[in-house]
Chain A
Amino acid sequence: MSQTLAPTPEPGAPQHDPDELEGRAADARSRRGAWIALPPAAYLVLLFALPLVIVLVYSFATRGTTGQTILSDWNLLSYRRLFDPLVREIALRSVGYALVTTGISLVLSYPFAYYIATRSPRVRNVLLVLVMVPFWSNFLVRTYAWRVLLSSSGPVSQLTELLGMGQTRLLFTTTAVVLGLVYGYMPFMILPLYAAIERIDLGLVEAARDLYASGTRAFWRVTWPLSRPGVIAGSILVFIPSLGAYVTPEILGGSKTTMLGSYIVRQFLSARDWPFGSALSFVVMALMLAATLIYFRTGGRTL
């Protein structure tokens, strides 16, 4: 549709000195960019960065005997606790789960998003919305429905029994946790992938198809590189929440594997140790932010 809108130059448009114009235009663009960025930036500074400072302050405070936060005796105790082997074990395990979840989501989502993106525009929108509809029910209720599906008397088990593999109980296994995570976060992968693939000028792919003999080569040389921004965005949107997930491992994994998300929640709630919870989340955030920025900046080349 964009092609039809592309205007043809009108004859007799005013002429200017190109250099001077470009310099002024760059300044104007910079100002305009800053103006457009201002409302969201102001919002995030006020309602995110400022509150975040409070958490940072709390991370240097002390847990009072009954779990209140004492804001006078500043120290680094909470940060020292981060070197506890328990924390390292939980962090490593969480990263492992998040990586597996992201990988499976990507493998399933890419062809899926590609399929949707190559439908006719109207069908496309309907298919896309159909992806989201299940997620407008309640997250907890959905997860509990999985419990029914995976239980030893559930449909999945009955199916394997029919196939002669005997009863299987997936519920409360690590498989169930990964399955739940993939289920929960796959839309986060599909949406950016779809947005990126749908944008690709299909004329390019067609040209490639005409030149290269194989569709596979055309895909790896043209489609995949062009869709990379979507792959990167999707991977981050799946990886990060998987790392912080706590409802899924609790409900489908029987809470037998503690992940970072659950551990942080426990600090704020049952342990009532807000300073440690704050320090923990702050460090996790800093590491994730660094990783994300590096991933985005280099992602174009390393992927």
Chain B
Amino acid sequence: MTGPGSTVEPRGAARRLLAANAWLVYAFFYAPILVLIALSFNENRLVGVWRGFTFDWYGQMLSNGAVLRAIRNSLIVAAMSTVLATVLGTAAALSLERFRFRGRQAFDALLYLPVIVPDVTMAVMLLLFFVRAADAMFVVSGAQVRLGLTTITLSHVAFNISFVAIVVRARLAGMDPTLEEAAADLYASRWQAFRRVTLPQMAPGVLGGALLALTLSLDDVVITSFVSGPGSTTLPVYVFGLVRRGVTPLINAVSTAMLVASMVLVLASVLLQRRRELS
């Protein structure tokens, strides 16, 4: 594709402006993050007032069972719901962008609703639904179903399908379909055509969608708190409660730890990719 030297890239002042804007945006994104990290070392219990440097909050975090359990729950839910939502959302995007079928328009409309619905409304309706579903399960099979990580994951997938689908569709829309048609005509299997032509073409969209889904899942408070059960409090829900009781640097320490963990993951995947490319 194009390297930095191509004619596509704006030259001169425009190019410098683009770069400047990019760095400004990054500065904007990371400024509060720096504050957040700095304050996690604040000796003072009151977040906004600096007193001195300490690692105490990290120690407290590691010895706080509730925090560790919340982190674990968050990671489980985020991982499972991101995978599920990415697969389902990509399927939805593919079917809508590449095929005509009956009910397509209705499906199209249904797909936008989870993005549009206010958080708290979705929370209330899912809670009412799960309680009824659990009752129905109990009547039919005698099995006691409780709210918990499963219901949280199901709920996250329910809103994330739409977000993934929208991002992937933005990628697919207008992407030249003749390529895959040509491939489908030639290769024996449609699967191969999909895997070798369509998938690589839409991969950036899928990655973007997955990243968005992961972010939304890691940040959701309202819906999660409604559909969670005993022992399934996730990190944002726990933090939300802590904030109500007064923010302490403990929360900043937890947030920083999450950041570092995700940075490590990203770095590892980049290194892995590079090694694969080299070999």
Contact = CB atoms under 8 A, between A and B. Distances in A.
A140 B170 contact: no
A256 interface: no
Interface residues of B, number: 126
A218 to B, nearest CB: 9
B251 A138 contact: yes
Contact of B92 (A37, A50, A210, A293): A37
A197 to B, nearest CB: 10
Given A41-B110, A236-B115, A277-B124, A195 B167 contact: yes
Interface in A271-300: 274, 277-278, 281, 284-285, 288-289, 292-293
A63 B48 CA distance: 42
A165 interface: no
B108 to A, nearest CB: 8
Interface string B1-44: 11110111111001001110110011011111101100100000
B255 A199 contact: no
A132 B258 CA distance: 13
A139 B224 CA distance: 14
Given A47-B157, A147-B48, A233 B167 contact: yes
Contacts of A277: 120-121, 124
A13 B173 CA distance: 30
A102 to B, nearest CB: 14
Interface stretch (B53-61, B141-149, B236-244): B236-244
Contacts of B51: none
Contacts of B9: 118
Given A201-B176, A209-B8, 5 more contacts: A43-B158, A47-B126, A138-B251, A138-B254, A289-B112
Interface of A: 1-2, 5-7, 9-10, 13, 29-34, 36-37, 39-41, 43-45, 47-52, 54-55, 58, 108-109, 111-112, 114-116, 118-122, 125-142, 144-149, 151, 183, 186-188, 191-196, 198-199, 201-202, 205-206, 209-210, 215, 226, 229-230, 232-234, 236-237, 240-241, 244, 260-261, 264-265, 268-269, 274, 277-278, 281, 284-285, 288-289, 292-293
The 8 closest A-B pairs by CB, nearest first: A33-B99, A37-B95, A145-B32, A51-B129, A281-B121, A40-B92, A51-B125, A192-B170
